[in-house]
């Protein structure tokens, strides 16, 4: 058993995937971030085995995902939109971004523990993503505190995790519809949000968005790589399979404008890029 110290507490892990499950169940955001960092450090130092078996967990009521009592989760239509021209409005936006990153930590951890039988690099990739998403969350939460607020002060929605629930039975569906669909939307949305923050004079938030955007291109690239690998293993056409999975799981329709440069850098194929270009017109 590996015991890893953090500034606040000691985390104990027996393996990479069981450790990811432990981090996933952690309800305290700061502790979750510290636990993820400790798990990755222990793995990189060669102190943890990679379990190959299915890890049993009882659902529902399993504590998955671990999250604090607040923010209150409501329908996306009930999340209040506030003017960016006010400090309260900027704080609400930063809170919404922090909530996305918090969910992204849980999504990456869930991929590590839930799906047995994948190549070793699959788990390494999603552990890296979890660690980077935790870094993003900390940046946003710290900035939110400078605006007089904390994570949990505003309502939020659960659309990202709803898709995780829908796709938990198939790693191909999960990879197709979370990193390649929902998270890829962040590539399109980030530049205009960054511009609005900069225009409002919040240059610190704009710089955080630059960091997030840089890393998210890599995260979507990881999703594309594993989606194409899985399609090849199952002898499936990637474009047709993606369309079928979107329909089966009622994924949000693709709507432009698209950040074509970022999507190309994130590994979307030439055929997919033509589709995005057509929709953008």
Domain residues for the domain of 270 are 2-49+63-68+80-280
User: What is the pLDDT at residue 215?
Assistant: 97
**For residue range 57-79, what is the model confidence (pLDDT) as tens digits?**
655 556 899 999 999 998 887 77
The answer to whether position 108 is within a domain reads yes
* 236 domain-assigned: yes
pLDDT for 278 equals: 58
- Domain of 95, CATH number, reads 1.20.1260
How many domains does the chain fold into? 1
pLDDT at 6: 43
| Predicted local confidence at residue 62, as pLDDT | 67
Residue 138 inside a domain? The answer is yes
Closest-CA residue to 208 (of 219, 222, 193): 193
Pair of tokens at residue 272:
């997919």
> In this structure, is residue 212 part of a structural domain?
yes
Residue 186 falls within a domain, yes or no? yes
Res 60: pLDDT: 52
Residue 75, in any domain of the structure: no
Predicted local confidence at residue 5, as pLDDT = 37
- How far is CA 71 from each of CA 36, 44, 135, rounded to the nearest angstrom? 21, 33, 19
pTM to 2 decimal places: 0.92
Q: What is the DSSP letter of 11?
A: E
- CA pseudo-torsion sign 59, 65, 71, 74: negative
Closest CA to 16 of 85, 97, 111, 89: 111
Per-10-residue mean pLDDT, the chain, length 281: 48 94 96 97 96 75 86 82 82 95 97 96 98 98 96 92 93 95 92 93 96 97 97 97 94 88 94 74 47
In whole angstroms, how far apart are CA 108 and each of 13, 57, 103, 138, 256?
Answer: 17, 17, 9, 16, 26
d(CA 12, CA 19): 8
Structure tokens belonging to residue 180: 């390649």
Report if residue 74 sits inside a domain.
no
Tens-place pLDDT, residues 142-190: 999 999 999 999 999 988 899 999 999 999 999 999 999 989 999 999 9
The CA R_g of the chain, rounded to the nearest whole Å, is 19
For residue 276, being part of any structural domain is answered with yes
**Contact, 105 vs 130, CB < 8 A?**
yes
- What pLDDT was estimated at residue 55? 85
């Amino acid at each position: 058993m590996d015991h890893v110290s953090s500034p606040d507490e000691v985390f104990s892990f027996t393996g990479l995937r069981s450790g990811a499950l432990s981090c996933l169940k952690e309800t305290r955001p700061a502790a979750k971030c510290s636990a993820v960092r400790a798990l990755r450090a222990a793995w990189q130092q060669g102190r943890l085995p990679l379990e190959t078996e299915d890890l049993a967990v009882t659902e529902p009521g399993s504590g998955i995902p671990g999250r604090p009592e607040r923010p209150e989760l409501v329908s996306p239509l009930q999340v209040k939109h506030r003017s960016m021209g006010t400090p309260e409005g900027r704080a609400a936006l930063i809170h919404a971004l922090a909530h996305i990153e918090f969910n992204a930590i849980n999504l990456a951890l869930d991929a590590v523990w839930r799906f047995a039988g994948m190549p070793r690099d699959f788990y390494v990739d999603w552990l890296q993503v979890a660690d980077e998403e935790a870094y993003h969350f900390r940046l946003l939460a710290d900035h939110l505190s400078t605006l007089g607020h904390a994570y949990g002060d505003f309502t939020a929605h659960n659309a990202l995790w709803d898709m995780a629930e829908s796709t938990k039975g198939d790693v191909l569906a999960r990879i197709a519809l979370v990193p390649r669909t929902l998270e890829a939307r962040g590539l399109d949305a980030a530049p205009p949000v960054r511009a609005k923050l900069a225009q409002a004079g919040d240059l610190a938030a704009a710089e955080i968005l630059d960091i997030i955007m840089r890393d998210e291109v890599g995260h979507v690239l990881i999703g594309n790589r594993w989606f194409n690998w899985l399609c090849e293993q199952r002898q499936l056409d990637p474009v047709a399979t993606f369309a079928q999975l979107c329909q089966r799981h009622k994924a949000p329709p693709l709507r432009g404008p698209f950040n074509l440069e970022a999507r190309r850098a994130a590994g979307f194929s030439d055929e997919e890029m033509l589709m995005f270009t057509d929709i953008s017109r």
